[in-house]
Amino acid sequence: MNVLVVGKGGREHTLAWALRQSALVKDLYAAPGNPGIAALGKCVDIAPEDAPGIAGFARENGIDLVVVGPDGALEAGVVDAVESLGIRAFGPTRAAAEIEWSKVFSKQMMQEEGIPTAAFAVFSDVDAARAYVIEQGVPIVIKADGLAAGKGALVCRTAEEAMKALDVVMTDRMFGDAGRNVVVEAFMEGEEASVFALTDGERVLPLVPSQDHKPIHDGDSGPNTGGMGAYAPAPVIDEGAMRDILERIIEPAVRGMKTRGRPFRGVLYCGIMMTDQGPMVVEFNSRFGDPETQVILPLLEDDFAELAVGISEGRMPDRPLTWKRKAATCVVVASGGYPGEYEKGMEICGLERLDAMDDVFAFHADTARRDGKLVTNGGRIVGVTALADDLASSIDRAYEAVDRVRFENRYFRRDIGQKGLRRMA
């Protein structure tokens, strides 16, 4: 097969890496890709949201399968455009991806299907939203309805913060039209984890549970980022919790999407809060997580290309997935200053020193090639993943590898995976 990966981050580098492991894959392309992906295939300069451009490229270059990474590409209808030409795509249609790009649709679907999630109300009028916040009290969560680069959910601990959040989202339109409607929902207390399931629209295959680290600083302090690291398996989701999540969350969601005439094919991302009342949904996303993918796919024994084709054709294998009996940790090395202001163009050294380390991977997130040199090109630069026999060893090994990656003003969290270790202890 010739395969095209859509996207340019660490998640897409990991997808490209997983596809490259498959004997089924001949030529690999990425739109637009990054320098890490360029070592595995050919990068073409097409934006992930350019649905006609991607479909046209796929047709002209004999692509057999398009694997879509980012939410923006799904919302832009890349899968619809590709499938309309009779080409297979891994990922949901725009209508099915609404489970991520409209928080209102998603919460209403959960309510109608009896899927456990926080109590909520929807507002298009800022005064009505303010009155509801005052009536409910704090802490409270305010979510912009549409995609907001992962920044559209604001946890407000004081009434002032909540009023400011409503102003910023609904009046100032910080996230554009995503702020036309907001979901105001009860704050959930607990530990968060990411549970993914592959689905062909009917059957469901859960992936190994993982945990992201969203805040910039150790101890989960500071502003949220795209994710500063991840590990898997996450012990907070034990076998019983996983069964519960499958039966009460994932299967009803997949059925619910089908009965709404929007069968969901691809990977369903369930942001789960483990509360005193059991697992509850924080949000559904319609894609792989970043950086969770960087720890999940390296643990997968199965052929990802074979799974992706099966899912795109609505015939996912009817057997559990097989996993390496290992743990994986990914530490994201970022530009100092991220998620605020940071400089770009710093030369990155030492990535080649990771090649000599078994079961260690450097997944490029935001790198660029300038005058033959590899340089930083954004906030999150590279995700360093290490596999080992247990979580503690994979953490040690990931940090040993991170130590070899150098660029000016680099920043990384030093406590990735510690929550998992504490839980196991």
Map residue 155 onto helix, strand or coil.
strand
24: amino acid identity, one letter: L
The residue range among 288-296, 352-360, 391-399, 415-423 that interacts with ligand GLY, by the rule CB under 6 A, is 288-296
For residue 237, give the nearest of 196, 288, 285 by alpha carbon.
Answer: 196
The residue range among 160-168, 282-290, 306-314, 381-389 that interacts with ligand GLY, by the rule CB under 6 A, is 282-290
Token couple for 334? 């970022």
The strand pairing partners of 185, in sequence order, are 120, 141
290 near ligand GLY, rule: CB under 6 A: yes
The residue range among 156-164, 284-292, 367-375, 413-421 that interacts with ligand GLY, by the rule CB under 6 A, is 284-292
292 near ligand GLY, rule: CB under 6 A: yes
Given a contact cutoff of 8 angstroms between Cβ atoms, the answer to whether 233 and 424 are in contact is no
29-58 residues in contact with ligand GLY (CB under 6 A) are: none
Write each residue from 308 to 347 as x if it is in contact with ligand GLY (CB under 6 A), else as -, in one continuous string.
Answer: ----------------------------------------
Residue closest to ligand GLY, measured at CB: 289
Q: How far is the CB of 214 from ligand GLY (least distance, A)?
A: 7
Given a contact cutoff of 8 angstroms between Cβ atoms, the answer to whether 270 and 211 are in contact is no
The residue range among 167-175, 289-297, 311-319, 397-405 that interacts with ligand GLY, by the rule CB under 6 A, is 289-297
366 near ligand GLY, rule: CB under 6 A: no
For residue 309, give the nearest of 6, 19, 48 by alpha carbon.
Answer: 19
**Residue 31 CB burial class (10 angstroms; 0-12, 13-18, ≥19):** buried
Q: Give 25 or 178: the residue with its C-beta nearer to ligand GLY.
A: 178
Kindly state the number of chain residues that form the binding site for ligand GLY, as judged by CB under 6 A.
7
227 near ligand GLY, rule: CB under 6 A: yes
Residue with tokens 């999630």: 117
The C-alpha atoms of residue 195 and residue 207 are separated, in whole angstroms, by: 7
Give CA torsion, residues 348, 351, 353, 354, to 10 deg.
150
Element (H, E) at 65: strand 65-68
Q: Give 20 or 151: the residue with its C-beta nearer to ligand GLY.
A: 151
Can you tell me which of 32, 35, 139, 150 binds ligand GLY, judged by CB under 6 A? 150
What single-letter DSSP state applies at residue 48? Answer: T
289 near ligand GLY, rule: CB under 6 A: yes
The residue range among 235-243, 283-291, 297-305, 344-352 that interacts with ligand GLY, by the rule CB under 6 A, is 283-291
The C-alpha atoms of residue 15 and residue 18 are separated, in whole angstroms, by: 5
The DSSP secondary structure of 361-408, one letter per residue, reads: EEEESSEEEETTEEEE-SSEEEEEEEEESSHHHHHHHHHHHHTT-B-T
Write each residue from 179 to 218 as x if it is in contact with ligand GLY (CB under 6 A), else as -, in one continuous string.
Answer: ---------------------------------x------
Helices marked H in 21-144 — which ranges?
35-38, 51-60, 71-75, 78-83, 98-101, 103-113, 126-136
The residue range among 112-120, 167-175, 245-253, 286-294 that interacts with ligand GLY, by the rule CB under 6 A, is 286-294
Q: Give 150 or 350: the residue with its C-beta nearer to ligand GLY.
A: 150
Q: How far is the CB of 71 from ligand GLY (least distance, A)?
A: 8
Helix 304-312 with 10-20: angle, nearest 10 deg: 100
Q: Give 67 or 346: the residue with its C-beta nearer to ligand GLY.
A: 67
Q: How far is the CB of 52 from ligand GLY (least distance, A)?
A: 26
Q: Give 285 or 367: the residue with its C-beta nearer to ligand GLY.
A: 285
350 near ligand GLY, rule: CB under 6 A: no
Given a contact cutoff of 8 angstroms between Cβ atoms, the answer to whether 145 and 93 are in contact is no
For residue 256, give the nearest of 199, 309, 186 by alpha carbon.
Answer: 199
Q: How far is the CB of 353 from ligand GLY (least distance, A)?
A: 27
Q: Give 22 or 294: the residue with its C-beta nearer to ligand GLY.
A: 294
Map residue 221 onto helix, strand or coil.
strand
Would you tell me which residues interact with ligand GLY (CB under 6 A)? Answer: 150, 212, 227, 285, 289-290, 292
